[in-house]
Amino acid sequence: MIYLRMAVSLAALLFAGFLGYRWGASGLEEARAQLAAIARTADEAKAAQVASQQRLDAQMKAQADEHAARLKAQAEGFEAQKAELSASLGKVSERLKVVDSQRQGNSARLAQLQAGMATATGAQLAELTQLKDELERKDRQMARQQAGLSCLATPVPAEELATLNRVLAPALPGGTP
């Protein structure tokens, strides 16, 4: 009887072990399936991340190339403007001489007109007065031009130049405040 009890106990233990294994194994298979699904999702996410990173890298490279091209064009434009300004400033003394000689000629003509006005009468006086007014207007205009040209040769303090650039930038084509 002891053997029989032992055999039944052994059979019960084996049966319990088998049932535990089956229940445990079925849960294990489900866990393995979930783990495989998670691994697939992770691989898909990694592939999507790599593709997104490549797209972003390409976009950033394109933007960097565009920025470099703009910067180069801007630098070339600046160099052209600088050369144009240097050429213009180099001719200031010549332009001053021309304006000065024009003013001297204008002054001589005004003196002749005033002498002629002293003896003129009636319609001739009105005509000479009108001509005198025109010559005086031209003289004022040339005086302004001469003063402006004289000013071009004067160095501007950096603070004033920065203020002028800041104030005038919105008025220039393509300027920003």
Strongest mean pLDDT among 50-64, 110-124, 155-169: 50-64
Q: What percent helix, strand, coil does the chain show, rounded to 5?
A: 90, 0, 10
Q: Is residue 122, in this structure, part of any structural domain at all?
A: yes
Q: How confident is the model at residue 62 (pLDDT cuts 50, 70, 90)?
A: very high
Which of 86, 110, 138 is where one domain is finished? 86
Q: Is the pLDDT reported for residue 22 higher than 90?
A: no
Residue 47 structure tokens: 């592939």
Tell me which of 105 and 91 has the higher pLDDT: 105
Q: What percent of the chain has pLDDT over 70?
A: 92
Residue 133 lies in a domain: yes
Q: Which of 63, 86, 109 is the last residue of a domain?
A: 86
What pLDDT is stored for residue 177 in this prediction?
47
What interhelical angle do 122-152 and 92-119 show, nearest 10?
160
Q: For the chain, what is the domain count?
A: 2
Question: 70 or 85, which is more confident?
Answer: 70
Same domain? 100 vs 51: no
Q: Looking at the domain assignment, is residue 42 inside a domain?
A: yes
Between 155 and 25, the more confident residue is: 155
Give the domain extent around 41.
26-86
Across 3-25, average pLDDT = 78
Mean pLDDT over each residue of the chain, to the nearest integer? 85
Distances (CA, A) of 94 to 14, 99, 135: 118, 9, 23
Non-local (6+) Cβ contacts of 56 within 8 A are none
Could you tell me if 99 and 148 lie in one domain? yes
Q: In this structure, is residue 165 part of a structural domain?
A: no
162 domain residue, yes or no: no
Mean pLDDT of 32-37: 88
pLDDT of residue 57: 96
User: Do 131 and 99 fall into the same domain?
Assistant: yes
* 82 Cβ contact list (under 8 Å, min separation 6): none
Token pair 């304006």 in the structure block, residue: 99
pLDDT for residue 38: 93
In sign, the C-alpha dihedral spanning 55, 58, 62, 68 is positive
Query: Is 171 in contact with 165 (CB distance < 8 Å)?
Result: no
Q: From CA 90, how far away is CA 107, in angstroms rounded?
A: 27
pLDDT band at 172 (very low <50, low <70, confident <90, very high): low
Digit-coded pLDDT (tens) for 48-60: 999 999 999 999 9
